[in-house]
Amino acid sequence: MTDYEKYRQICREARGTGILLVLLILFWLAAGFGAYAVWGPAPVAFGLPVWAIGGTIGVWLFAIIGVWVLLHTTFRDMSLDESGEDASAKGGEHDD
């Protein structure tokens, strides 16, 4: 991967992370305030109302699944050192 390709890939990953954030906020709204508006405070499981489950554990699970999907669809492994031709041009001075 060239340095340019790495930069493009990093931008894609950052955009993907931002999209996950937006989706998480929407889920948080729907699972919490949305669920409360529809089902109210009546307990449905473990003595808890729908919004208290969806808006807490639900958001957490959504985030975990979202990160897993993000890592498997958008993120790619890459060398953190500079690409070969650039590194040799600059003398390849690195810590690692």
Name the site residues for another protein (rule: CB under 8 A). Answer: 2-4, 6-7, 10-11, 13-14, 16-18, 20-21, 24-25, 28, 32-33, 36, 41, 43, 46-49, 51-52, 55-57, 59-60, 63-64, 67-68, 70-71, 75-78, 80-82, 93-96
Alpha-helix runs per DSSP H in 30-95: 35-39, 50-53, 59-73, 84-89
| Nearest distance from C-beta of residue 55 to another protein, angstroms | 4
Task: For the CB of residue 88, give the shortest distance to another protein in the complex, in Å.
Answer: 14
Nearer to another protein, 33 or 88 (CB): 33
DSSP state of 91: T
Residue 91 zone, left/alpha/beta (φ > 0; ψ -120 to 50; rest): left
SS3 95: coil
